Amino acid sequence: MHLINLCLSLYFKHSLLSLTYQVIAFSACLVHLGSEGVRLGLGFYGNLAENMSALFGFLITTIIIQIPLTVFLAVNGSFLNLPLEYVFYTMITVFAIEALMKTAEREVAKYINKIQQEKVADELEKTSGKSPKSGRKTLKKQLSR
């Protein structure tokens, strides 16, 4: 649907734009479609294979390419945006930012959990007076119960 929207909007307003904006609009739409394909492919592969590098590629593509380009296409008044484009660009931006915020929240929670587990293991080491590995083993036993 997004591909159809971009192609049709570019087709209808191409003749109404100046030469400079024709080139900018065409290249922006081309980059937008290319990055969207790469971004979705990385996200799909990363989720299926549980591959973290592909998922971080998805996030980086979203942050660096997708969100700024979508905001540029939505906000720039010289492109004579159709009402449908405003809706699509707003939805894409909102969903991308929501995905980034959920991912950031999940990563922060994992980091805080790791720090808390290390603190508990250190406290167990101090109280038991044994080797550092024994405190971590005790913690793992307690967590598995």
pLDDT of residue 98: 92
- Average pLDDT value over all residues in the chain: 83
Domain that holds residue 46: 2-144
pLDDT of residue 135: 59
**Phi and psi angles of residue 69, each rounded to the nearest 5 degrees, phi first:** -70, -40
Number of domains in the chain: 1
What is the C-alpha to C-alpha distance for residues 124 and 101, in angstroms, rounded to an integer? 35
Is 140 a residue whose pLDDT tops 80? no
Q: 93 and 82 in contact (C-beta within 8 Å)?
A: no
Only one residue has tokens 């390419």, namely 65
- What's this model's pTM, rounded to 2 decimal places? 0.67
| 124's tokens | 């167990």
Helical ranges in the chain per DSSP H:
2-13, 19-49, 52-61, 67-75, 83-128, 132-144
Number of neighbours of residue 89 by Cβ within 10 angstroms: 21
Helical ranges in 50-82 per DSSP H:
52-61, 67-75
Q: What angle do CA 88, 94, 98 make, to 5 degrees?
A: 145
Only one residue has tokens 């100046």, namely 18
**Which pairs with CB-CB distance under 8 Å and at least 24 residues apart come from 85-93?**
85/5, 85/9, 88/2, 88/5, 92/2, 92/66, 93/67
More confident residue, 107 or 125: 107
What is the C-alpha to C-alpha distance for residues 125 and 127, in angstroms, rounded to an integer? 6
pLDDT mean over 130-139:
61
Is 94 a residue whose pLDDT tops 90? yes
